[in-house]
Structure 1
């Protein structure tokens, strides 16, 4: 049979396992939001989250094996992966667009119904002060984007240097270390952002059940925080792969490329969240 440049993916249990686990997590979150907290609830959420993590680990391991060790990711396959990830980012754009639509519908609608003297947040609710923890979070996340860009550039230089000479080996090792350092700093900043977000939630004077303001605030910032956590895990996987020198000379680095696109997308969404929810939403 003639080679076509494409890779026929073998049967895998991971897509259905991940779909079932994500559905289980969604059911658990609905349970958490609509019922009293109990041990059985936490046990269920822990179990489905564990199975989701195991399924993701297995799927990512298979993909890394196919691309790095088996050489199945030809230029045609990588091109398809890139377009697939572009469409995934586009779907995320529309997802957050719907959340921002809900926020502005709730806020502008509240002001319109109350008429003269109306305000947002509603009377009796104290919104988050934008120039404290939210502004610090903005600085942290934007800084992480700059460190991520530096790491990306360093890895590109590292993977473009031939190892045929001693000078090439030394130069490649130098940029490899720079990439590890910058990517590690990005991960630390991502973890710090999550810590600050959790601290902000605990210090909040309102909850998700406090009307439209509480609902749209926690849903919008919560889903963004979830994306930051996912991006941090993604960065950590790329850091381990870089440590093991998977992105070496003449090896494609789509995994790192897609990670950088995702992280910059999360950065951009947070800037819009900060300006609309924290700054404009507290005028």
Structure 2
């Protein structure tokens, strides 16, 4: 009898937390990640079926990501489940995610400075190695810096516009930001095609391509996040006080900007 009364009290308890319904997405995400990892390893070792497993894992992950985030958007926009305390938890989660990304890039910068401050005899005891002709700072790197910093300014304009309920300005700012991001990615790809060295050319090539390549991947992810925010702005999913999805994309984009400044100063300028 006591348990029954407790169960009834639980059903009528009022609180601001969002208790999500049981979902298959975490289990399916784990399966997709496992397939992607195993497929990548088997493909690199030329096992039969590795490429197919890799593609299936990638497709499964992309599909689950779109469906899972669709559920989150529905819960936040149409079901009004994201109260103040839930949004606070989402903010903490996004902050911790960005901190983990900082640690991720810290490892690459550590490898670069460790190799450049004490170059070993295998690469001639000098930095850059004797066989490497580095990419010059002027040209594409400097142009990309201008593009990325400009995109940071336009996305901030979009944030201020949505706070002041200026929807047209928000849409225009996001379009400009996405355009600058795509131009940055295109120029980065052009730089790779014209670079006088590749990822196999000593530790310099490895550090350069791994760091700039992962930064380019983060630019691509940020571009997708901003594009989704653009669609949601058009569909009136956001208000002047409730637009954390857009805020999270902005935080991520500023993180991408800051990483590029450190990357430019180390790989393109100091390391030359």
Q: Tell me the TM-score normalised to structure 1 length.
A: 0.85
Greater RCO between the two (CA within 8 Å, min separation 6)? 1
SS in 2 for 1:199: helix
In structure 2, the residue matched to 1:246 is 237
- Alignment correspondent of 2:175: 184
Q: Equivalents in 2 of 1:25, 1:137: separation in Å?
A: 32
CA distance in 2, matches of 1:10, 1:197: 43
Aligned to 1:10: 21
Q: CA RMSD in A?
A: 2.2
Superposed CA deviations along residues 59-110 of structure 1, whole A, max 9, x for unmatched, are 1100000000001001110111111111111111111111111111111121
| The one of 153, 156, 164 aligned to 1:146 | 153
Tell me: CA distance 1:184–1:71, structure 2 relative to 1, closer, same or farther (3 Å). same
Query: What is the Cα deviation at residue 22 of structure 1?
Result: 3.6
For residues 140 and 42 of structure 1, the distance between their equivalents in structure 2, rounded to whole angstroms, comes to 36
Report what 1:257 is aligned to: 247
For 2:49 and 2:97, the matched residues in 1 are separated by 34
Give the number of equivalent residue pairs: 260
**Equivalent residue, structure 2, for 1:161:** none
Per the alignment, residue 59 of structure 1 pairs with 68
* Structure 1 pair 125–29 and aligned structure 2 pair: CA distance change class (3 A): farther
Q: 1: distance between equivalents of 2:233 and 2:195? A: 39
Are residues 142 and 42 of structure 1, via their aligned partners in 2, closer, same or farther at CA, if it must alter by over 3 Å? farther
- In 1, the alpha carbon distance for the partners of 2:198 and 2:40 equals 16
Deviation at residue 277 of structure 1 after TM alignment: 0.5
TM-score by length of structure 2 reads 0.88
Instruction: Report the Cα distance in structure 1 between the residues aligned to 2:97 and 2:117, rounded to whole angstroms.
Output: 30
1:134 is aligned to 2:141? yes
* Structure 2: segments with no counterpart, 5+ residues: 1-11
**1:89 aligned residue:** 98
Matched, 1:276 2:266: yes
Match of 1:78 among 87, 97, 101: 87
The unaligned stretches of length 5 or more in structure 1 are: 159-174
